[in-house]
Amino acid sequence: MMMNKRTFTVEEKLRIIKEASEQGVKVILEKYGLYPATFYSWKNKLEEMGEPGLQHGMTPRHLKRIRELEKENYALKQLLAEKELEGKLKDDLLKKSMPWRKKGDSQFFHLSGYEKRYGTCNSWH
């Protein structure tokens, strides 16, 4: 009789390991149709890497890399938040120091074609 290959979720693996500690390994292996090597592999991964170790294909190297990337991601989010705050503070400071300046206005006044040609500056734009 051939058994179908089944994929267990992390939650199911945790439940099976817990049941095995309560009811005995042999009983649980028969109940779920598991090989001892599979069960002990799950148990070892849980002990070594915690719950993330029970995810399909997880190895200590993968878990280490994931944690490194999570730290990097956190640092980048902090940096982005600081830059956004810095930009907002600069904008607020500009609004207070130059209340006449509106968003989109040039920093300098504009001269009409006539004023540029003849050097007069009677009207401001």
Higher pLDDT, 3 or 4: 4
Overall number of domains in the chain:
2
In this prediction, residue 54 has a pLDDT band, given cuts at 50, 70 and 90, of confident
In a domain, 52, yes or no: yes
N-term to C-term CA, the chain: 90
DSSP calls for 68-90: HHHHHHHHHHHHHHHHHHHHHHH
| Predicted structure pTM score | 0.49
Q: What band does 1 get if pLDDT is binned at 50, 70 and 90?
A: very low
% of the chain beyond a pLDDT of 90: 46
Reported as a single tens digit per residue, the pLDDT across 85-119 is 999 998 888 888 776 666 555 555 555 555 555 55
Same domain as 36, residue 15 = yes
What whole-number distance in Å separates Cα of residue 40 and Cα of residue 88? 55
Residue carrying the six token digits 């938040």: 81
Range of the domain at 66: 59-88
